[in-house]
Structure 1
């Protein structure tokens, strides 16, 4: 709903506080899960109303805050499962929906709630929710280029191997190897939020993206920036750290049919704080 780890955590905390206050006031909560999900959904709808205004004023390409899981898949199983369902590309597509459309679509498509539950959580009728979902699904399908489904184990392993070779080639300045791993129409999205210098909205084309990557990694080597493979929003990627172990940026790779179709880099320091201390180097 939010594209923001910190704001999502705040809403969850607010929902639990609301539950605690209701119980203290003597209210009987027969279904705590339904109560909390409804509270978070409605908080999310209110949040999106104000967030849309902020994003209209956002400097450069907007990407959601990265959710990072170690490359070995360690961590809570539900955490890994959820991030598999929320790639950056999918979250960006959801930005095209209104707050209520987004809530209905996420509850129904991602979490599998029935229409009676969706209606209760959003304050709409079942008939209205069916119409909203059909409209939202149609809008998403018209623009969708990647699915929200997690890659099967075989493709996941292939994606990890391709990511490993890709980062090695970028670090070594091997342009021929990079060109072979990128789709002809590959795009690079960079989110610096106006705080880290990046180019315009996006960079497209295999040769242009390759030149950018070689330049970025050459500068990284000079600044002793290291790279740690990770799964980013359910896709292969990496976290980059400076010499002091502070986060510089997070990269996510969209792998389709054995080649990289899109690269997304989040370097806006406001979106990296949940991962640890953030570097002040200001690299893409």
Structure 2
């Protein structure tokens, strides 16, 4: 059999083994396809990247996180900013408790496509883990988060069957180029404004931070953290109704956002709506039962209700 059909056959067989839960066999088949590609001198980076990413998924399922990370890194060297290898590497880092590197990969995915729920969930988990590990200064210890170029951003592409389909159909995409380009640039600006808001929060200048977060949200309304950050500012400025509104918007985007529940509970408490505050804290504790700040607030609320 000619090399190209044989490689496709091995890949299909690997996919079938993976779907049936035979991860070791699938990894071996993907490995054979890679060997054959290299033996034929085929330098197609996309094909090789997909095979490495697929084999990484097998390693991840089998709990071999180090090999998963290695294959994902190769896949990303071949085709930078691929969503699947980024998510798989992030999951492997997370399993190894390398939370900073997992956070960076999850955040990178959201630059590529801000609608990937697995990345939003991963960022939330890593944030909690890093706060517990490094305290409130955890952001200062993060490695740099790469800036995804506009050409790699896909958040406004038309939905397609898979990541591979997306990359292969770009040449046939009839959508105007200017729309995603403009929106991507706008989103980059929104992220910059959010970071500027964060800096003002660190300085205690909540009024100026609100201005920056508001500008950011005018450009990009799907950023959950910007709502919870602005809610924190509103709490400090005693603008409790606005804090509640922002937390509610955040919860529309992420129904298990701990910060949104906690800050909304704080705002309800200040407005003496203790029942609503208790309801939010109870929801929070279902998500994160060991949250000491929430437990303490609940004790205060129970005393107030008595």
User: Normalising by the residue count of structure 2, what TM-score does the alignment of the two structures yield?
Assistant: 0.30
Which one has a bigger Cα radius of gyration? 2
Give the number of the structure whose residues are more often strand, by fraction: 1
Which has the larger share of helix? 2
Larger RCO: Structure 1 or Structure 2 (Cα < 8 Å, ≥ 6 residues apart)?
Answer: 1
